[in-house]
Amino acid sequence: MHAAEVPWQIVVWNDPVNLMSYVSWVFRRHFGVDARTAEHLMMQVHTAGRATLAEGNREHMERHAEAMHEYGLWATVERAPR
């Protein structure tokens, strides 16, 4: 597989600043998930320290990371596990 084809993922990390309700709202607004999914992902961030929100090409995941930063969330782009 060519390096450009390797899937990447956007990971949102727990932080001591943002309210859980705000994080859920961001997930609903930006990723278009329903309230139940947003709550599940937010709890994953809160309890496990991180959650993977999407997977795809690197450029697309970097745009998601930039958007999360604009919302004030801590996010990184990683290679998806194989």
Task: Report, as an integer, the average pLDDT of 70-82.
Answer: 95
Q: Write out the E strands in the chain.
A: 8-13, 50-56, 74-79
**Residue 27: C-alpha distances to residues 12, 56, 82 (Å):** 10, 17, 25
| pLDDT tens-digit map of 60-69 | 999 999 999 9
CATH at 71: 3.30.1390.10
| pLDDT tens-digit map of 30-58 | 999 999 999 999 999 999 999 999 999 99
Question: How many domains, the chain?
Answer: 1
Query: For residue 15, what are the domain limits?
Result: 3-79
